[in-house]
Amino acid sequence: GRTVTILCPYDVRRLDSRVLADAHATHPTVIRDGRSAESEAYAPETVVARYNEPLAAVPEVSAVCFSFDGGSLAEARHRAADEAGRLGLAAARTRDLLLVVAELTTNSVVHGGGRGVLRMWGEGGTEGAVVCEVRDAGVLADPLAGRRPAPPERPGGRGLLLVNLVADLVRTHTGGAGTTVRCWFGR
């Protein structure tokens, strides 16, 4: 990876105190009056836990639902391809979606208890998005998995990063009941 420094300006005179508290919790270094200092409130794990909220309910009426395990991964991909076509997803985006479905369903089998559920539906009409969701019984130990690259010396850990790079939007919720990853693909 490449080292990078990013400066995030905040108008401390106009912003709400909650916004500033969140900024201090999410930034390891703060600059005040031209001086750089370590943020005493820096707590990225606390912030991640705060925003690890359950996802909105799936629109059951319009969603396609398929339970899968290690023996039905190919069928899950075929069903996803059929549903993407039915929902009007462009061919290039369908290839992206199938890559994501392959990664997420395989992760469920390998890391999430050996099985999972794939759901797909459309949002926002023909100009909206196709949404795919994979849910399993596993618990994601690193809630930032897929949001930052794995160390180069580690042999795995790049699949969720790929999912985040390919989908237009990825939302994840993990907890005692399992993990849900929901991905949006613009039509």
pLDDT tier for residue 147 given thresholds of 50, 70 and 90: confident
pLDDT tens digit string along 92-126? Answer: 999 999 999 999 999 999 999 999 999 999 998 88
**pLDDT tens track for 30-71:** 998 889 999 999 988 887 788 888 999 988 777 899 999 999
Strand order across the beta sheet in which 178-186 lies: 64-69, 115-123, 129-136, 178-186, 169-175
Q: Domains along the chain?
A: 1-51 (no CATH), 64-186 (3.30.565.10)
Q: How far apart are CA 15 and CA 124, in angstroms?
A: 33
Question: CA nearest 121: which of 165, 93, 88?
Answer: 88
| Mean pLDDT of all residues in 122-135 | 93
pLDDT surpassing 70 at residue 2:
no
Average pLDDT of every residue of the chain: 91
CA–CA gap between residue 171 and residue 143 (Å, rounded): 11
pLDDT score at 12:
87
Q: 10 Å Cβ neighbour count for 187?
A: 17
CA-CA distance, 134 to 69, in Å (whole number)? 12
3-state secondary structure 50-98: HCCCCCCCCCCCCCEEEEEEHHHHHHHHHHHHHHHHHCCCCHHHHHHHH
The two three-digit tokens of residue 83, written as one number: 């549903």
State if pTM tops 0.85. no
* Rounded Cα gap, residues 129 and 148, in angstroms: 25
Q: What tokens appear for 95 in the block?
A: 């290839």
Pairwise pLDDT comparison (23 vs 94), residue with the higher score: 94
What pLDDT is attached to residue 86? 95
Sign of the CA dihedral running 31, 33, 35, 41: negative
Beta bridge partners of 116: 68, 136
